[in-house]
């Protein structure tokens, strides 16, 4: 017997539904959202050029939901009502057919590469959209500042900006959202996060994972575009922004935009202020042997795609002027390090008689899990005059949902606080374009590091402030 259609229907229409991002991240997040009791009235429609049918799509849904142990009558009801259509997302005829089958509020999720997203939007502009349609766009948003600006203009022809949701799932991480509260609600932290006290800031996302079969997307993007251009710049903006007046989306977006507008490559010198590398064959932390990146399936060695990117940026605001922000990311690294590390300047001279090294104080925020560590110097445990390092640690509240569950919750509830604004999407490209150009022109060597290692050595150069 078929399930009854919910009384308050909305349709999540996923374009590019057969892709890796959908099965690996989006659908498990959707399963967690449904298991939490949210998403009442949701219909799920998948579409791609892949020749699937409804039953194959439903099997994909069930498998993705089960991977997060999300089961139950409500979830199974969504699966049974779901449908799949083989279609070309850039075809006007196919898009008309897909939209005509949608019920209620329509959430069009573009799980597509940037050029295909732009072509799909052009086709939608020609045929028109149902009332109360939302556009949900995956990163990277465009391929450079110009294409991002053009896509913003195109989206504005389709729906108001309030109904455009640009996805960066790092904004949905509980650890990133916790940064706002930790900074704004603690007097012992907020006044110290300025150039007067801070020596440098590192935003690090070193992954254990190697390519893991993602050459189709990754080999055309690389670490700089896949992680730095979007995720790490959003973390930087969240840490460096002045506290917003409210947590309304408009105020949050404006605060992040001000930071990104003030951000540039350190000393305007992408050669001296960046490096790139890719992994060679090695053994990962879990004992798996992986081939060199250039020998992975689907990789074109001639592209010289980096799997490791290190960039130093300046944030020219009164709060942060002169403080280097280092954004680092890489694949197949050990140990895995995913954190924000704020290193403070050395304290004034200690009283005579204190012995032992006075190490820099550090404030560290976890990104993969939500934790806080404060590294201090203390004396008195063994001797009142002997300095020893101590670390204060706290585990912070975790998110109720995985990050893609939070993204979908925000989309379904019309909450744009987790969305990237139009201006931020353009500014993120503008910031890294000098680095992209320098790398494409061969102005920096492509270094090597063994898979399972800590990455390339010998950087940053000693002349760089905070090095």
Same domain, 282 and 215: yes
Residue 120 lies in a domain: yes
H or E stretch covering 121: helix 114-127
pLDDT digits (tens, 9 = 90+) for 309-356: 999 999 999 999 999 999 999 999 999 999 999 999 988 877 777 877
CA distances from 67 to 44, 49, 80, 290, 334 (A): 18, 25, 18, 25, 26
Number of separate domains in the chain: 2
Tokens found for residue 398: 């975790």
CA distance 437 to 31: 41
Same domain, 297 and 214: yes
Q: With contact defined as beta carbons under 8 Å apart, do 56 and 84 qualify?
A: yes
Find the domain containing 428 and state its range: 171-399+421-450
CA distance 433 to 240: 21
Q: Which residue has the tokens 């590192």?
A: 202
Same domain, 132 and 177: no
Residue 154 lies in a domain: no
Statement: residue 467 has pLDDT above 50: no
Statement: residue 286 has pLDDT above 50: yes
CA distances from 443 to 269, 276, 403, 429, 435 (A): 11, 11, 37, 19, 10
CA distance 67 to 429: 35
Same domain, 178 and 133: no
Same domain, 103 and 188: no
Lowest mean pLDDT among 65-74, 188-197, 279-288, 429-438: 65-74
- Give the DSSP letter of residue 248: S
CA distance 185 to 206: 29
pLDDT digits (tens, 9 = 90+) for 122-166: 999 999 999 899 999 999 999 999 999 999 999 999 999 999 999
Residue 467 lies in a domain: no
User: Which pLDDT band, with edges at 50, 70 and 90, does 72 fall under?
Assistant: confident
Closest to 240 in 3D by CA, of 287, 194, 296: 194
Please say which residue of 94, 122, 138 terminates a domain: 138
pLDDT digits (tens, 9 = 90+) for 254-271: 999 999 999 999 999 999
Closest to 8 in 3D by CA, of 412, 286, 446, 433: 412
Give the dihedral sign, CA 93/94/98/101.
Answer: positive
Average pLDDT over residues 422-430: 98
pLDDT digits (tens, 9 = 90+) for 358-373: 889 999 999 988 999 9
- pLDDT of 464 reads 55
Residue 371 lies in a domain: yes
Please say which residue of 88, 123, 138 terminates a domain: 138
User: Which pLDDT band, with edges at 50, 70 and 90, does 60 fall under?
Assistant: very high
Query: At 3, phi and psi to the nearest 5?
Result: -75, 150
What is the average pLDDT score of the chain? 92
Residue 113 lies in a domain: yes
Residue 240 lies in a domain: yes
H or E stretch covering 364: strand 362-366
CA distance 313 to 236: 10
Same domain, 114 and 203: no
169 catalytic, yes or no? no
User: Which pLDDT band, with edges at 50, 70 and 90, does 1 fall under?
Assistant: very low
Average pLDDT over residues 407-433: 97
Strand, coil or helix: 356: coil
pLDDT digits (tens, 9 = 90+) for 206-242: 999 999 888 888 999 999 999 999 999 999 999 999 9
Same domain, 248 and 390: yes
Same domain, 82 and 179: no
Same domain, 304 and 428: yes
Same domain, 296 and 354: yes
- Give the DSSP letter of residue 453: B
Is the pTM higher than 0.95? The answer reads no
Lowest mean pLDDT among 86-90, 384-388, 400-404, 447-451: 384-388
Same domain, 99 and 242: no
CATH number at residue 63: 3.40.50.720
Residue 160 lies in a domain: no
Catalytic residue among 169, 197, 231, 253: 231
Residue 390 lies in a domain: yes
Q: Side-chain half-sphere of 4: how many Cα atoms within 13 Å?
A: 4
Q: With contact defined as beta carbons under 8 Å apart, do 57 and 83 qualify?
A: yes
Average pLDDT over residues 111-131: 95
Same domain, 193 and 65: no
User: Which pLDDT band, with edges at 50, 70 and 90, does 70 fall under?
Assistant: confident
CATH number at residue 189: 3.30.360.10
H or E stretch covering 313: strand 308-315
CA distance 50 to 19: 9
């Amino acid at each position: 017997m078929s399930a009854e259609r919910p009384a308050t229907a909305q349709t999540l229409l996923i374009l590019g539904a057969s892709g890796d991002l959908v099965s690996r991240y989006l659908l498990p997040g959707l399963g967690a959202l449904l298991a939490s009791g949210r998403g009442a009235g949701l219909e799920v429609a998948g579409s791609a050029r892949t020749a699937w049918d409804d039953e194959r799509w439903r099997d994909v849904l069930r498998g993705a939901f089960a991977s997060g142990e999300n089961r139950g009558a409500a979830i199974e009801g969504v699966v049974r009502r779901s449908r799949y259509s083989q279609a070309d997302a850039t075809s006007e005829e196919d898009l008309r057919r897909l939209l005509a089958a949608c019920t209620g509020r329509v959430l069009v999720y573009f799980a597509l590469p940037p050029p295909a997203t732009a072509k799909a939007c052009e086709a939608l502009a020609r045929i028109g959209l149902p009332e109360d349609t939302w556009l949900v766009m995956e990163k990277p948003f465009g391929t450079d500042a110009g294409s991002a600006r053009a896509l913003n203009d195109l989206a504005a022809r389709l729906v108001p900006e309030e109904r455009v949701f640009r996805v960066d799932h790092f904004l949905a991480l509980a650890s990133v959202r916790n940064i706002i509260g930790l900074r704004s609600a603690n007097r012992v932290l907020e006044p110290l996060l300025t150039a007067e006290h801070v020596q440098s800031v590192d935003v690090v996302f070193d992954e254990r994972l190697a390519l893991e079969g993602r050459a189709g997307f990754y080999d055309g993007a690389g670490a700089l575009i896949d992680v730095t251009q979007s995720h790490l710049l959003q973390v930087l903006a969240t840490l460096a922004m002045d506290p917003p007046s409210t947590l309304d989306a408009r105020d949050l977006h404006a605060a992040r935009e001000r930071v990104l507008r003030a951000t540039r490559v350190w000393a305007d010198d992408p050669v001296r202020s960046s490096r790139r590398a890719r992994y060679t064959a090695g053994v990962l932390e879990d004992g798996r042997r992986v081939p060199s990146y250039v020998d992975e399936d689907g990789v074109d060695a001639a592209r010289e795609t980096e799997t490791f990117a290190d960039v130093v940026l300046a944030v020219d605001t009164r709060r942060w002027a002169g403080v280097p922000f280092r954004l680092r990311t890489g694949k197949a690294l050990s140990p895995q390090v995913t954190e924000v590390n704020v290193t403070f300047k050395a304290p004034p001279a200690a009283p005579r008689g204190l012995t032992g090294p006075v190490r820099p104080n550090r404030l560290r925020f976890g990104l993969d899990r939500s934790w806080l560590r404060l590294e201090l110097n203390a004396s008195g445990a063994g001797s009142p005059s002997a300095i020893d390092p101590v670390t204060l640690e706290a585990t912070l509240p975790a998110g109720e949902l995985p990050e893609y569950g939070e993204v979908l919750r925000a989309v379904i509830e019309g909450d744009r606080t987790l969305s990237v604004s139009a201006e931020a999407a353009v500014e993120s490209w503008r910031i890294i374009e000098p680095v992209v150009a320098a790398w494409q022109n061969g102005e920096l060597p492509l270094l090597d590091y063994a898979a399972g290692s800590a990455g390339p050595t010998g950087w940053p150069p000693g002349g760089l402030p905070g090095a």
